[in-house]
Amino acid sequence: MMINQSMRGVFAAALTPLLGDQTIDLDTLPGYLEFLAQRGCHGALLLGTTGEGPSFAHHERAELMRSALRVRQVAPDFGLLAGTGTPSLEETILNTRSAFDLGLDGVVVLPPYYFRMVSDEGLLSWFSRIIDRAVPEGGALLGYHIPGVSGVPLSIELISRLKDAYPTRFLGIKDSSGSPEHATILGSYFGHELVVFNGNDRLFSHALQAGAAGCITAMATLYSPDLRRVWDAHLAGAADPQAQARLDACRTILDRYPPAPPVLKALLSSRHHLRRWSVRPPLLDLPVDIEYLAAAELDQVENV
């Protein structure tokens, strides 16, 4: 399979800009995506975990995707993916169809995460209906493997069956398992026949060596220059252990301040002078004293 160039490289798991009244700051979004492009990102995933995707209704998702496309006025090659999965099959189909109708490059689809003890046969039927009804020829669907959050893993067997059934529309997965062993298994089983985006900054170099096509990570909002250094070194047949070490250290610190959206929104504002965005309940905005603690820890390792 020839991997589309829009499905390679460093992607940010983008934040969703929210005003104090919980509405989406549509006017600010394109500038934020331009900021990511200027700092080395090849693209962004909208409405993923970091983007609080499950907190938004269909019409809000469509408005956000439409606004995001304005980034291509200044960065025409910037890749745009959207998280479209919900527990509802019909809503997922609607979200997915909207993403392609608007002109996004692809979708990243969570499995239906309410019923957890389901079979591969059930998941195959679910994903097949989405692809059949919402993914056009030339469209790209990636499954979202994040079992620690969704509770529904995407097995190697399921991925293989979807790839065989839809070789031009099911392109691969976002692997947010956080497991180096799983990254190795994906590479050894599929090679470069599957698009794998690594979802854990600590594993980026390892995943690339195992055949990953790039990364989609929350930390790209703050640390895309280091992710890009790792990516560029990989393309040159080398490694950048210093950049990877900084990513390891920063990810370890940020993992102590979950969930990711509040702390990332606070640090993005204080460090890069973007508007301080809110989060949507059940998430809560980060208290300033906690922001100072996180920032102080990060300051100690960023210049190593």
Decide if 130 contacts 92 (C-beta within 8 A). yes
- Residue tagged active-site, from 16, 32, 49, 217: 49
- Residue tagged active-site, from 114, 189, 252, 292: 114
- Residue tagged active-site, from 16, 32, 86, 144: 144
- Residue tagged active-site, from 50, 92, 174, 257: 174
Output the six-digit token pair for 82.
Answer: 């959207």
Active-site annotation holds for 49:
yes
Asked if the model's pLDDT at residue 81 lies above 50, the reply is yes
Any idea which architecture 5-238 has in CATH? Alpha-Beta Barrel (3.20)
Cα torsion 180, 182, 183, 188 to 10°: value is: 130
Give the mean pLDDT of 74-80: 97
Q: What is the DSSP letter of 27?
A: T
- For 224-270, what is each residue's pLDDT tens digit? 999 999 999 999 999 999 999 999 999 999 999 999 999 999 999 99
d(CA 216, CA 38): 17
Q: Which pLDDT value is given to residue 4?
A: 59
Active-site annotation holds for 189:
no
Q: Which pLDDT value is given to residue 192?
A: 85
Q: Which pLDDT value is given to residue 60?
A: 98
Q: Is 143 left (phi over 0), alpha (psi -120 to 50) or beta?
A: beta
Give pTM, 2 decimals: 0.96
- For 165-180, what is each residue's pLDDT tens digit? 999 999 999 999 999 9
Q: Which pLDDT value is given to residue 6?
A: 73
Domain residue ranges in the chain: 5-238
Give the mean pLDDT of 185-194: 91
Q: In the chain, where do the E strands start and end?
A: 9-13, 43-46, 79-83, 106-109, 141-145, 170-175, 195-198, 214-217
- For 193-232, what is each residue's pLDDT tens digit? 899 999 999 999 999 999 999 999 999 999 999 999 999 9
Asked if the model's pLDDT at residue 298 lies above 80, the reply is yes
Asked if the model's pLDDT at residue 304 lies above 90, the reply is no
Give the mean pLDDT of 66-84: 97
Active-site annotation holds for 114:
yes
Q: Which pLDDT value is given to residue 154?
A: 97
- For 18-30, what is each residue's pLDDT tens digit? 999 999 999 999 9
Q: Which pLDDT value is given to residue 115?
A: 93
Q: Could you tell me how many helices (H) and strands (E) the chain has, helices first?
A: 12, 8
- For 88-138, what is each residue's pLDDT tens digit? 999 999 999 999 999 999 999 999 999 999 999 999 999 999 999 999 999
Q: Which pLDDT value is given to residue 2?
A: 42
Q: Which pLDDT value is given to residue 191?
A: 85
d(CA 179, CA 229): 22
Q: Which pLDDT value is given to residue 303?
A: 73
Side-chain half-sphere CA neighbours of 230 within 13 A: 31
